[in-house]
Amino acid sequence: MKTEKVSELTTNRLSIYLRCLNELAASGAETVSSQAMADQFNLNSAQIRKDLAYFGEFGVRGVGYYVEDLSRHLRKILGLTERRRVAIVGLGNLGTALANYQGFDYDSFEIVALFDDDPAKIGRKTRSGLEIQSDQNIGEVIRSECIEIVIIAVPATAAERVLEEVTEAGVRAVLNFAPIHLNPRPGVKVNNVDLTILLESLSYFLANPSDEAVNVHHREFLRHDASANGAGG
Amino acid sequence: MKTEKVSELTTNRLSIYLRCLNELAASGAETVSSQAMADQFNLNSAQIRKDLAYFGEFGVRGVGYYVEDLSRHLRKILGLTERRRVAIVGLGNLGTALANYQGFDYDSFEIVALFDDDPAKIGRKTRSGLEIQSDQNIGEVIRSECIEIVIIAVPATAAERVLEEVTEAGVRAVLNFAPIHLNPRPGVKVNNVDLTILLESLSYFLANPSDEAVNVHHREFLRHDASANGAGG
């Protein structure tokens, strides 16, 4: 359990390092030290060294990292050497925004199918030229198009059913934007983008600007004395 | 650094507990044990007890937690007792989707202003009846409307400038959807919703379905022998 969480945070940092390396490569840099990378991108140099060491010792003493080399390794680690085929289910505003999103790495992710259940939308094309299909054919299309990742952008009430259908068709990776926590079957990973949690963490920050203030503040809510320790179960 | 991250994960879990408690309250439950809550919502009971103990001992031996009571406490901890005023900058598909998003807790967050720089959009109303304003007045409106949270949904090239403007006007909490990592000034919190990172973590999962497989797999990339340990910086 714990290992998995560490690993998720670590791979998220690898994603960030990869983006930094891409910028460095674009600016013509051939090598970079963890310190220079930390300074330029506001990261932690010790953390960079630790993360990269975990996946093998890529650094060279006195040189640092070879930018292209390390970038290629990170892409391998993150599974970005094969292009992943992606479908979006639900072409409301959010799904449409995602279908037209400019921030994806299109070498690694290719949006190949769009599904909706609204007859008025089926057959329409998005800005990218892709046609919206009826969600009645989801399973079939997922199989024939070898889709590996599904982005769920349907209302909360429909999300569970969509997850069911796409995992039934063999999808093992899902990005869920519906405001509902989905519990996938074993072997399937769902990344939930939960806007409520993100907003509540901002609200928490506004209520408790510093960690110290947090602790002081929260102790005010203590209602039970020490004898209650260990209760609450 | 570490403390802050733990605290972020913890507050995210508090958000989840709060949602579970709301469901329990809606179904008429008056008390719940950490075990029952864990079972019903697929959580970890020891983690629940630990998280809640950190913020004070809310549990009562032999009873568990009082649902309404704990819910009220969590809302206090998360700063949800005051309604936060929110603005969205950038009314493209994504911004429009967010403006019409049904998943927000409208008791805690109120979207009170929408900004765009496109003359064709200014003056238009969203489904919620709110009018899109020119982003030239951002600072002024933020001050007069007492806006505390800003959601940035502009293209990457404009995001830094928007962050600058809204923090200049006193905003300390930002949810950033632009595909660029923003570095806020001290005292300002930016939650980045980075779709690339979320997709890359799915890609990593597809390439490395289990943690054990991960470790084996990654060791294949080892290129340096043990003498390289500690280099790379």
- Report if residue B9 sits inside a domain: yes
- Report if residue A233 sits inside a domain: no
Q: How many domains does chain A have?
A: 3
Query: Between B4, B53, B194, which is nearest A211 by CB?
Result: B4
CB < 8 Å to A42, chain B: 183
State which residue of chain B sits closest to A80, comparing Cα positions: B203
Model ipTM value: 0.77
Query: Has residue A92 got a pLDDT over 80?
Result: yes
CATH at A68:
1.10.10.10
Last residue of a domain, one of A58, A77, A96: A77
* A6 interfaces chain B, CB cutoff of 8 Å: no
CATH at A93:
3.40.50.720
DSSP-derived secondary structure for B47-109:
HHHHHHHHT----BTTTBEEHHHHHHHHHHHTT-SSPEEEEEE--SHHHHHHHT-S-S-TTTE
Query: Between B15, B98, B200, which is nearest A196 by CB?
Result: B15
Cα B60 to Cα B75: distance, rounded to the nearest angstrom: 19
Cα B8 to Cα B16: distance, rounded to the nearest angstrom: 13
**Residue A99 belongs to domain spanning:** 84-195
Cβ separation of B155 and A102 shorter than 8 Å? yes
pTM for this predicted structure: 0.70
Residue with tokens 């709060």: B18
CB < 8 Å to B163, chain A: none
CB < 8 Å to B5, chain A: 9
- Report if residue B233 sits inside a domain: no
Are residues A90 and A188 located together in one domain of the fold?
yes
Instruction: Name the residue among A122, A109, A183, A97 with its Cα closest to residue B40.
Output: A183
* A76 interfaces chain B, CB cutoff of 8 Å: yes
CB < 8 Å to A178, chain B: 103
Question: Containing H/E element for B125?
Answer: none
* A19 interfaces chain B, CB cutoff of 8 Å: yes
How far is A154 from chain B, CA to nearest CA, in Å? Answer: 11
Confidence label for A87 from pLDDT (cuts 50, 70 and 90): very high
Work out the percent of chain A whose per-residue pLDDT is above 90.
42
Give the mean model confidence (pLDDT) for residues A185-202: 87
Are residues A220 and A174 located together in one domain of the fold?
no
Query: Between A53, A148, A223, which is nearest B206 by CB?
Result: A148
Chain A to chain B, count of Cβ pairs less than 8 Å apart?
305
Cα A180 to Cα B74: distance, rounded to the nearest angstrom: 19
Question: Containing H/E element for A32?
Answer: strand A31-32
Are residues B89 and B126 located together in one domain of the fold?
yes
Last residue of a domain, one of A77, A105, A124: A77
Total Cβ atoms within 10 A of residue A7: 18
Cβ separation of A201 and B12 shorter than 8 Å? yes
Taking only the tens of pLDDT, chain B with its 233 residues reads 334 444 677 888 888 899 889 889 989 999 999 999 888 877 889 989 988 888 876 688 888 999 999 999 999 988 898 899 999 999 988 888 888 876 667 678 999 999 999 999 999 998 888 999 999 999 999 999 999 999 999 988 899 999 999 999 999 999 998 877 788 889 999 988 878 888 888 998 898 875 433 332 232 232 222 223 333 33
Cβ separation of A200 and B102 shorter than 8 Å? no
Instruction: Name the residue among A145, A126, A128 with its Cα closest to residue A87.
Output: A145
Which residue stretches of chain A are H helix? 2-26, 34-41, 45-54, 67-77, 93-99, 138-144, 156-168, 195-207, 211-219
Residues 22-41 of B with CB under 8 A from A: 33-35, 41
| Mutation to test the B interface, candidates A195, A208, A218, A225, most B Cβ within 10 Å | A195
A162: buried, middle or exposed (CB in 10 Å: 19+, 13-18, 0-12)?
Answer: buried
The three-point CA angle B177-B183-B188 to 5° equals: 90
